[in-house]
Amino acid sequence: MATTMREGMGPMPDRHVRVLHAVAEDYIRTAHPVPSQAVASRLDVSSATVRNDFGMLEQGGLLQQPHTSAGRIPTPAGFRYYAASYLPPRRLPKDARRTIMQRLASAEGDDVFVEASRLAAKLSGYAVLIRLPADDQLTIHEIHLSLVSSRRLLAVVVLENGLVRQIGVDIDPMPSESVIDDAERNLRQLGLSIGEVPKALKAVAATAGDEDLARTLEALGDAWNGLRAPKRFRDGLKLLLGEPEGEDPSFVRLVVEHVEGESAAAGSPRGDLDLELDDKIALVSASFAFGGGRGALTLIGPARMRYPRALSVASEFGRALSPGPEEGAEGPGDDR
């Protein structure tokens, strides 16, 4: 998969790489700063050598000392370097891949993304956010108008990939059933993408010989933007409360802002697989084709994320959610 995660990363002495990996893996496992003695024992070198390596890695911006203890933890740049060593990600085991494909194949429309977010959270242990782009490029297959009250119509729109969208249309006074039927026929004959419909409806309304039909088509055009908003699907937020960071109110607030806030809709991965992180939060995202644009599945967790597994899960769902996944392509097994 194409990725931007290695941008700006130059070569590093092999022992420094091993020290960084040892610190990252111990910190991910324990959530505590890692002392030089622990790394020395693991790598079978002296504590003095490790302390010297710590100093060099700190100067390089890859390790930091969070307080006056002797332990170190990776910086965001250090975690990025560590995570990049697991690219390309290993494929999940065959049984996990089979479960993903079966569960997604058994769902339809938006339920595919509901199921994907639920399963990705279970497999990764982190919160999941799936973002779909606006539906502008998707072609309408069917449309139905029905009366729900004396002043409101419901428009149900079936799109090319089986997704169903609906909007309420306020009209006062409500036209007759025959006018509503005519409006529905006009919509079906358009054969356009969602983004092209409002302008087309205005044009048809301008030439309609019936005043009530023109008024109905204009009302549909005015309400149409309700179909075009980006969609989001979320799951797994409660899983993060079981992490040690879940006891930190500032961490929880940041997670909620990413999952629920406006920032959740900002941008897409710069490549097929991307990593964003700071001192508290890590976001591992995989993009996938959707209509004429790109959707994204993002795993949200602490900076102390289990990156090998997270990268494998995100990559697998990016593949599974794209049209025509190459399930037969074999790679390495589970994450390292």
Single residue among 180, 207, 227 that ends a domain in this structure: 227
Rg (alpha carbons) of the chain, rounded to whole number: 26
Task: Please indicate, yes or no, whether residues 19 and 74 belong to a single structural domain of this protein.
Answer: yes
**Tokens encoding 232:** 């989001």
Task: Please indicate, yes or no, whether residues 18 and 99 belong to a single structural domain of this protein.
Answer: no
Give the start-end residues of each E strand in the chain.
63-64, 73-74, 127-132, 140-149, 152-159, 164-170, 231-235, 273-277, 281-290, 293-302
Task: Please indicate, yes or no, whether residues 101 and 141 belong to a single structural domain of this protein.
Answer: no
In angstroms, what CA-CA distances link 229 with 12, 39, 111, 139, 166?
A: 45, 50, 18, 15, 12
pLDDT band at 5 (very low <50, low <70, confident <90, very high): low
Say which residues have a Cβ less than 8 Å from residue 178's Cβ, sequence separation at least 6: none
Q: Is residue 89 part of a domain?
A: no
Task: Please indicate, yes or no, whether residues 120 and 243 belong to a single structural domain of this protein.
Answer: yes
List, for residues 178-203, the tens digit of each pLDDT value: 999 998 888 888 778 888 888 888 89
CATH number of the domain where residue 209 is located: 3.30.390.60
- Between CA 119 and CA 223 the distance in angstroms is 34
**7 pLDDT exceeds 80?**
no
**Number of domains comprising the chain:** 3
Query: Which H/E stretch holds residue 23?
Result: helix 14-30
pLDDT for residue 31: 94
Is 139 within 8 Å of 163 (Cβ atoms)?
Answer: no
Domain interval for residue 65 = 14-84
With a pLDDT cut of 70, the percent of the chain lying above it is 89
List, for residues 216-238, the tens digit of each pLDDT value: 999 998 888 777 667 899 999 99
Query: For 246-266, what is the mean pLDDT?
Result: 78
Task: Please indicate, yes or no, whether residues 47 and 159 belong to a single structural domain of this protein.
Answer: no
**53 pLDDT exceeds 90?**
yes
Q: Is residue 331 part of a domain?
A: no
* Mean per-residue pLDDT over the chain, rounded: 87
Query: For 11-40, what is the mean pLDDT?
Result: 94
pLDDT for residue 335: 45
Task: Please indicate, yes or no, whether residues 117 and 258 belong to a single structural domain of this protein.
Answer: yes
Task: Please indicate, yes or no, whether residues 126 and 265 belong to a single structural domain of this protein.
Answer: yes
pLDDT band at 325 (very low <50, low <70, confident <90, very high): very low
pLDDT for residue 38: 96
**70 pLDDT exceeds 90?**
no
Single residue among 84, 104, 119 that ends a domain in this structure: 84
**77 pLDDT exceeds 70?**
yes
List, for residues 103-155, the tens digit of each pLDDT value: 999 988 889 999 999 999 999 999 999 998 877 777 888 889 998 888 899 98
Q: Is residue 335 part of a domain?
A: no
pLDDT for residue 269: 55
CATH number of the domain where residue 301 is located: 3.30.450.40
List, for residues 269-313, the tens digit of each pLDDT value: 555 899 999 999 999 999 998 877 789 999 999 999 999 999 999
Q: Is residue 1 part of a domain?
A: no
Query: For 65-86, what is the mean pLDDT?
Result: 91
- What is the largest distance, in Å, between two alpha-carbon atoms of the chain? 90
Enter the pTM of the model: 0.78
Q: Is residue 5 part of a domain?
A: no
Query: Which H/E stretch holds residue 119?
Result: helix 111-124
pLDDT for residue 334: 53
